[in-house]
Structure 1
Amino acid sequence: MKKTTKFPDGFYWGGATAANQVEGAWEVGGKGISVSDVITVGTHQNPRRVSLDMSEQLYYPSHKASEHYDHYKEDIALFAEMGFKMYRFSISWVRIFPNGDEEKPNEEGLLFYDKIFEELKKYNIEPLVTISHNELPLHLAKKFNGWASRKMIDCFMKLCNVLFERYKDYVTYWIPFNEINNLSLPISGFVQGGIIADDMKTFGGGTDNAQLRFQALHHVLVAGAKAVQLGKSINPNFQFGSMTCHITLYPLTCKPEDIVLTQQEDLLRNCFCSDVQLKGEYPYFQEKYYQDNGIIIDITEEDKKLLKENLHDFYAFSYYMSVCRSSDPDADQTSGNIMGGARNPYLEESEWDWQIDPVGLRYTLNKVYDRYRVPVMITENGLGATDKFENGIIHDPYRIDYLRTHIEQMKEAINDGVELIAYTPWGCIDLVSVSTGEMKKRYGFIYVDADDNGEGTFNRYRKDSFNWYKKVIQSNGEDLN
């Protein structure tokens, strides 16, 4: 067979951000308070704190973030200079509905996004819009306990209706929920589900209520199906993506117990939500999981019909790393994105202990395409690292190497037959880390002069990776040197 070494014509090269991690301007333009706005800065060693009433003595990184709200024209011009074909970003729910239950949207918030879309159109950059990305209104979290209540669906649909009607001529690609599967883990109960545990003091902390959390996830899945239904009625050309945080799992050894453990966790962690969104029903293994754990989900016949009839169109996922699973409780452990696992002795690690596995991306692309047979987008991928800033110059060969090796494996997956249509690496401009709240954990091609406490000029500087990625896009992935 002739080997394919080229990315397809029209491939969407770009980058990705999220409103709560990049915009800042947290009290500007009528914006309300989101769940992310009450989470303090932390470190890899010290967890972020959740402070619902906010204290003047504490720093909340989303309040300033990267000040994209004030620099959006400059930032989008820099994306265009790199040659972006697509920009993935999220719309802040609380800019549109500050409390989440208003009758009418906040026009000033909509005007800000009007300007974003106009800038993107000026440079012929395709928007990929995430509707909900850790931006749940804090008011709804307090009022309904977030997505634990079915009433949240109506609030979300009101947001969708406003966005679909206003931007029907600007947007083709929508992602209703970022990394929807993260709500299957306790760590995301608050930031993604808006569920407030009585003893919640830290990011991901507090007593977990699995029954409540999985019921919340069901409501999110139903809301996603209703978004597809509504969107297609407004513009039949809309395309909707199921977006998964894919934590690729390997058995640590060929011991059968390790293999079965890995398979079971992979199904629950990586396949459950996308199975519902792309196949239209709850998979057998999830129903068995609920039975074994005494979880009873309120699923109506109308819910089942909605899920079956309103499938998503493409599969999107974040990929940063892989971890191993072992039946040996004494196996050496490593941390990672959302969750860690047994350390793979064949891989190197980043300074935040995330194992680096480019070949795992090829494996994952083949796995998900084989399972769903729909177009695939890699909507997050990148290396969080400390950059050395000297006189406006940032040399980041480690980031270039990480991205190069992953793009090489993307080529291999395309040669395998995978229909990969987009690559939007994470944090194309430096932004606040979700897990630690730090700015020093940098991902971007563009350096933002700000520290972990929001101090700095917030001036923008091109890193070496900026010019490297520009060459990659110009050559459609041919020039990776």
Structure 2
Amino acid sequence: MTKHTFPENFLWGGAIAANQVEGGWNLDGKGLSVADVASYKPNVDNKDYSAHLSITNEHVKEAILDLSDQDYPKRRGIDFYHHYKADLALFAEMGFKVLRLSIAWTRLFPTGEEMQANEKGVTFYRNVFKEMKKLGIKPIVTLSHYEMPLHLSTTYNGWVNRKVIADFVRFATVCIDEFDDYVDYWLTFNEIDSIHRHPFTTAGIITENSKENEAVQDIYQALHHQFVASALVTKLAHEKNAKNKVGCMLTKLMTYPLTCDPLDVELTLKKNLENNFYTDVQVRGEYPKMIEKSLADRAIKIEMLPEDRKILKENTVDFLSFSYYMSMAESGSPDAERTPGNTVLGVKNPYLESTEWGWQIDPKGLKIALIDLYDRYQIPLMIVENGMGAVDQFVDGQIHDPYRITYFKQHFMQMKAAIDEGVDLIGYTSWAPIDLVSAGTSQMSKRYGFIYVDADDQGVGTYKRSKKDSFYWYKAVIESNGESLFKAI
């Protein structure tokens, strides 16, 4: 008989990113990041991401000259910079054991090339961590979450240039040294695989600056530099303090064959193998043989220093974290209907419902993903993003969101089922516990939180925080360590 509770010391919490919540984009010495030039694109989910997320030099120049936040919502976020104490208190009221958050690189190193950190930036994060400690919430810190210094992008084409490794390691060293008393869990790069879907957001690559026909080559080169940087930071964290646990982070893009046509099965297999590539390098410490063959067949040659493979092999991660929002199907048919997801387009699965933004809802897929990843790697897993964007409405001064409660309950039940089958799942952080600026669309109206923030897509509002029905529901789940999920059973 299995228990109706999650494992003892299970890490319940939520996840946010600095560029989507903090605001204060031009305060206390902060420099411009790639997120500060991300413009409002409300229809991006319904169209081709590659067309909408490509960034040109002209776009960047226009954004730099614009000193307002009107067209660049990530500059204002939800003003967590000034509301963090109240927001953390709400998270504590829900019973959070952990909060995943990121440190904005440009708050510490405005251009990325400074030799000394901006003390005001260090002080801000130290104060955040002090407040979390007081409230009994442990941080899970992401070092790079779509917010690298814009200067490194415009000057060096981002991570394409190997010198950025040293800049990142210098930034990470300050974080590990300064916040050692507060942080035990570190993530190096958020959704490191996303470099192919939005190279500017993930790695500061402006593809028009690549030589003719070399954009894909540059993306793989930048990815390699991030792999090496991640391994070096993992080494640093382990040397600093044995308590430090370092994880990688993957966008888990669970893909099924649309039919049992062998072509659909083969295409699906290859898609899932490609998704595993990134964690293979960071967990196993080496490039998969078939990926190396594929790169060679495409005449993509990654420049490596002699010591790179040794660095990767000797500094693998302690746990694997991932985001999971939806699944998709694959088909060899050119007529197969496609639907949007987490910055991807996939073949629509006729057996699944969808959110208002077209993302297919697949709780069972989360269990399959957990079993798949744990069987492959045999290291602890952590779900660090999972949730649904929806339009919320006030009714008689309250927000009733049964659709959100249903979504989370279904996913939590599948998590528990995976644990009962032997998966070592150590924690879960929802995306996001509070409404924030959407990563892909820069909308506020696409709401994820258990806490409502009174601000619209144009940033107009009081920014007052209000608890939704789901706030109280998630509080009960954490309080009972999942037992409340089974009350009706």
CA drift at 1:208 = 7.6
CA distance in 2, matches of 1:208, 1:119: 47
Write the deviation string for residues 343-396 of structure 1: whole angstroms up to 9, x where unpaired.
111000001000000000000000000011111100000010000024541111
CA drift at 1:124 = 1.0
For residue 118 of structure 1, what is the aligned residue in structure 2? 130
Residue among 400, 403, 409 paired with 1:404? 409
CA drift at 1:300 = 2.4
- Would you say the 8 A contact 1:199–1:207 is kept in 2? no
Change over 3 Å in CA distance of 1:95–1:315 after alignment to 2? same
For residue 7 of structure 1, what is the aligned residue in structure 2? 6
For residue 213 of structure 1, what is the aligned residue in structure 2? 219
Q: State whether structure 2 residue 208 is matched by structure 1 residue 195.
A: no
- Would you say the 8 A contact 2:363–2:410 is kept in 1? yes
Helix, strand or coil at the partner of 2:484: coil
Residue among 354, 358, 372 paired with 1:367? 372
- Would you say the 8 A contact 2:157–2:209 is kept in 1? no
For residue 170 of structure 1, what is the aligned residue in structure 2? 182
When the two chains are superposed, the root-mean-square deviation of aligned CA atoms in Å is 1.6
Matches within 5 A, 1:229-248: 229-248=235-254
CA distance in 2, matches of 1:169, 1:149: 33
Judging by fraction of residues, say which structure has more helix: 2
- Would you say the 8 A contact 1:369–1:419 is kept in 2? yes
Helix, strand or coil at the partner of 2:483: coil
Matches within 5 A, 1:66-465: 66-183=78-195, 185=196, 187-198=197-208, 209-268=215-274, 270-390=275-395, 392-465=397-470
CA distance in 2, matches of 1:308, 1:475: 41
Helix, strand or coil at the partner of 1:52: helix
Write the deviation string for residues 148-204 of structure 1: whole angstroms up to 9, x where unpaired.
010000000100110111111211100011011111x2x32101110112389xxxx
- Would you say the 8 A contact 2:184–2:243 is kept in 1? yes
Q: State whether structure 2 residue 479 is matched by structure 1 residue 474.
A: yes
CA distance in 2, matches of 1:48, 1:135: 15
- Would you say the 8 A contact 1:267–1:285 is kept in 2? no
- Would you say the 8 A contact 1:42–1:49 is kept in 2? no
CA distance in 1, matches of 2:53, 2:322: 25
Deviates more, 1:149-158 or 1:291-300: 291-300
Helix, strand or coil at the partner of 2:336: coil
Matches within 5 A, 1:46-61: 47=52, 50=55, 51-53=59-61, 54=63, 55=66, 59-61=71-73
- Would you say the 8 A contact 1:40–1:48 is kept in 2? no
CA drift at 1:299 = 2.0
CA drift at 1:4 = 4.4
CA distance in 2, matches of 1:139, 1:390: 46
Helix, strand or coil at the partner of 1:87: strand
- Would you say the 8 A contact 1:40–1:49 is kept in 2? no
CA distance in 2, matches of 1:74, 1:285: 50
Change over 3 Å in CA distance of 1:111–1:39 after alignment to 2? same
Q: State whether structure 2 residue 46 is matched by structure 1 residue 41.
A: no
For residue 203 of structure 1, what is the aligned residue in structure 2? none
Alignment gaps of 5+ in structure 2: none
CA distance in 2, matches of 1:88, 1:121: 14
Helix, strand or coil at the partner of 2:266: helix
Match for 1:95: what amino acid?
A: R
Match for 1:42: what amino acid?
A: K
Alignment gaps of 5+ in structure 1: 201-205
Match for 1:338: what amino acid?
A: T
Helix, strand or coil at the partner of 2:293: helix
Task: Give % identity.
Answer: 50
- Would you say the 8 A contact 1:6–1:478 is kept in 2? yes
Helix, strand or coil at the partner of 1:447: strand
Helix, strand or coil at the partner of 2:71: coil
Write the deviation string for residues 57-93 of structure 1: whole angstroms up to 9, x where unpaired.
8510111111110100000000000000000000000
Helix, strand or coil at the partner of 2:13: strand
CA drift at 1:48 = 6.3
Change over 3 Å in CA distance of 1:139–1:391 after alignment to 2? farther
CA distance in 1, matches of 2:182, 2:82: 22
CA drift at 1:126 = 1.0
Match for 1:170: what amino acid?
A: Y
Change over 3 Å in CA distance of 1:225–1:49 after alignment to 2? closer
Change over 3 Å in CA distance of 1:100–1:288 after alignment to 2? same
Helix, strand or coil at the partner of 2:281: helix
CA distance in 1, matches of 2:54, 2:215: 20
CA drift at 1:44 = 2.3
CA distance in 1, matches of 2:324, 2:180: 29
Write the deviation string for residues 288-320 of structure 1: whole angstroms up to 9, x where unpaired.
220221110012220000000001000100000
CA distance in 2, matches of 1:299, 1:407: 42
- Would you say the 8 A contact 2:320–2:381 is kept in 1? yes
- Would you say the 8 A contact 1:23–1:69 is kept in 2? yes
TM superposition score normalised by structure 2: 0.94
CA distance in 2, matches of 1:403, 1:381: 9
- Would you say the 8 A contact 1:39–1:49 is kept in 2? no
CA distance in 1, matches of 2:14, 2:214: 34
- Would you say the 8 A contact 1:93–1:100 is kept in 2? yes
For residue 74 of structure 2, what is the aligned residue in structure 1? 62
Deviates more, 1:330-339 or 1:443-452: 330-339
CA distance in 2, matches of 1:43, 1:294: 37
For residue 31 of structure 2, what is the aligned residue in structure 1? 32
CA distance in 2, matches of 1:5, 1:291: 50
CA distance in 1, matches of 2:359, 2:344: 10
Helix, strand or coil at the partner of 1:378: strand
Aligned pair count reads 472
